[in-house]
Amino acid sequence: MMTKKKIEHYRRRLLEKREELLCALDRHVHYGREADQDVAQDPADKASNSYLKELLFSQSTSDRYILALIDEALERIAEGTYGICVACGAEIQPKRLEAVPWARHCVTCQDLQERGLLRELER
């Protein structure tokens, strides 16, 4: 079982990361707008402009994905199920939580999921 102190440690890390991602998303929106205002006539500039926008877009997509995972993890903390694999119910290894505090799966299930073999239980 995880101690309250440990949970508080992860909760703080999740909140910090959440803040960081929200700031990054803000910046992306800002850069995206600047890139828009700065529309150059040169086709080469235009191409790099749209490349930049695409890059920012894919970056913010993965940021949004992690944000959603962080929110889920915070919910699990509130429900008292944090640190438990959502697929098999095993405890997630502390090392893994330390590296990825928003992890939903234990290493075994994560591996299955990455190979498309995980059938998740309905929540």
Whichever of 78 and 90 has its CB closer to Zn ion, that residue is 90
| The CA-based dihedral angle spanning residues 67, 68, 73, 78, taken in that order and rounded to the nearest 10 degrees | 110
Q: Is 25 helix (H, G, I), strand (E, B) or coil?
A: helix
Q: Which two tokens stand for residue 90?
A: 């095993």
Whichever of 14 and 87 has its CB closer to Zn ion, that residue is 87
Q: How many residues bind Zn ion (CB under 5 A)?
A: 6
Give the nearest distance from C-beta 92 to Zn ion in angstroms: 8
**Which residues between 3 and 62 bind Zn ion (CB under 5 A)?**
none
Give the nearest distance from C-beta 111 to Zn ion in angstroms: 9
Rg (CA), the chain: 19
Q: How far apart are CA 10 and CA 106, in angstroms?
A: 16
Q: How far apart are CA 63 and CA 5, in angstroms?
A: 28
Give the nearest distance from C-beta 120 to Zn ion in angstroms: 10
Give me the 81-120 binding string for Zn ion, x by CB under 5 A, dash otherwise.
----x-xx-x---------------x--x-----------
Q: How far apart are CA 102 and CA 33, in angstroms?
A: 30
Whichever of 35 and 88 has its CB closer to Zn ion, that residue is 88
Interface ranges with Zn ion (CB under 5 A): 85, 87-88, 90, 106, 109
